[in-house]
Amino acid sequence: MNFAQERVARCPASWERKRIKHHISRFFGGGTPSKENTSFWSDGTIPWVSSKDMKVARLTATEDYITEAALAGSSTNMVKPGSVLMVVRSGILKHSIPVVINEVPVALNQDLKAMELRKSLDTRFFQYWVTGQQKDLLLEWGQLGATVDSIDVDAMRNTVIPLPDLDVQKVIAHFLDRETARIDALVEKKQEAIVNRPGFTGE
């Protein structure tokens, strides 16, 4: 039995089993506006997401911003709030699959994919589902490139995901939100205690 079969077998028989693609209403990527065109980047107001921004669970800001001219004059695309963003091409895929939910409208670069989910799949549940078993998923979805690793998006989209009904998904996601916040607070408190310890030099 392979990883995918084991994952499905561990879930209650009453859970629905469908491929991820059946829960996606829109799936698309982006692009990079020309760096040589200063009008694309100067005083930009549109958050432009690249792999370096994918270090948070909820995205509200980015390092780079582009202009309306950049949006119109390049292959990047706007993504509506509440979508799922996933890194599909990056060296970070050697060890993790960054998955983020954007809370504001954003544009994407070419190393990411955006997914607008149908009402059958809760965005937070899907985010936890991917991050919770990313090691196995990297073995199933990963492709080794000459210079950078990537996700086989067809393999990802065709993966079967067992699901409880939507209300239960939301309850599970809410519980994980609460527990994650609690753990983060404990870690932050521990770090503050270390920094404030007498004699601590930061080395």
- Residue range 53-76, pLDDT digits in tens: 999 999 999 999 999 999 999 999
Instruction: For residue 97, tell me if it sits in a domain.
Output: yes
The pLDDT of residue 195 is 61
Instruction: For residue 16, tell me if it sits in a domain.
Output: yes
Using pLDDT thresholds of 50, 70 and 90, give the confidence band for residue 200.
Answer: low
What is the domain extent for residue 58?
3-164
Instruction: For residue 81, tell me if it sits in a domain.
Output: yes
Instruction: For residue 190, tell me if it sits in a domain.
Output: no
The pLDDT of residue 111 is 96
Gap between the Cα atoms of 59 and 48, Å rounded? 11
Using pLDDT thresholds of 50, 70 and 90, give the confidence band for residue 32.
Answer: very high
Instruction: For residue 182, tell me if it sits in a domain.
Output: no
Q: How far is CA 157 from CA 22, 40, 126, 132, in A?
A: 8, 33, 13, 18
CATH number for position 85: 3.90.220.20
- Residue range 161-195, pLDDT digits in tens: 999 999 999 999 999 988 887 876 776 776 766 66
HSE toward the beta carbon, residue 89, CA cutoff 13 A: 15
Instruction: For residue 173, tell me if it sits in a domain.
Output: no
In this prediction the pTM is 0.87
Give mean pLDDT, residues 19-26: 98
Average pLDDT in the chain: 90
Instruction: For residue 43, tell me if it sits in a domain.
Output: yes
From the centroid of its chain, how far is CA 73?
26
If one counts the domains in the chain, the total is 1
Instruction: For residue 187, tell me if it sits in a domain.
Output: no
From the centroid of its chain, how far is CA 167?
22
